[in-house]
Structure formats: C-alpha cells, structure tokens
Amino acid sequence: MTATATPVSVAWDFGDGSTTTCAGPGTPFPTGGDPEASSPDCGHTYTHSSGSGTYTVRATITWNVTWAGAGQVGAFNGMTTTASEQVVVQQSQALITGG
C-alpha cells in the first residue's frame, strides 16, 4: 500500500490573540538565511512580551491524503494534525533620560 499526504494549509494560533492561515506547507528557512528577516509569506511579530510566562503557539495542518493498494485507490481530504509549543517572548526597552 502507498499513501501520499500533501499539506493544503497551515493555520497558526500564536497564543497572543493573533492567528493566520497559510497556503501549502509554508516556506522553508533558507540555508544561510538571515534569522532576523521577516517571513516572506506567513510570519508573525509579537508586540508584547510573554512576561513571566509563555505563549502557546499552535499549528494545525490540513492534509489531502491519497492511497493505493491491493487494487484499490482512495482519498482522505481535509485530515488535520495539530502540534503546539510553549514559547517565551522577550523584549528590550530603552529609557532616555536627560534631554
């Protein structure tokens, strides 16, 4: 039996009230890429730190799966998988004194 899963979209919940959905699997990080560069198609910028806690980032991937085996073929469209991770978001603030 052979099964092929193709990612259709990724729905992101960034844990700070922001969400976005991206087509396909997303864009791989390029070898030698700038880690401070913005995402070309599906990024998020946190505007507040997570304080003394964390944000829960959740990605839900929607898949279309085709299969073939034993003389049969079929498809399972719209299957989903979800993963989450706790992230700490820190920030640096400047204070200017004396004019």
pLDDT in tens, 4-58: 999 999 999 999 999 999 999 888 888 898 888 888 788 898 989 999 999 999 9
The pLDDT value given to residue 28: 82
Cβ-based burial of 88 (10 A; exposed 0-12, middle 13-18, buried ≥19): exposed
Contact 33, 88 (CB under 8 A): no
> What's the maximum distance between 2 C-alpha atoms anywhere in the chain?
80
Q: The whole model's pTM is what?
A: 0.80
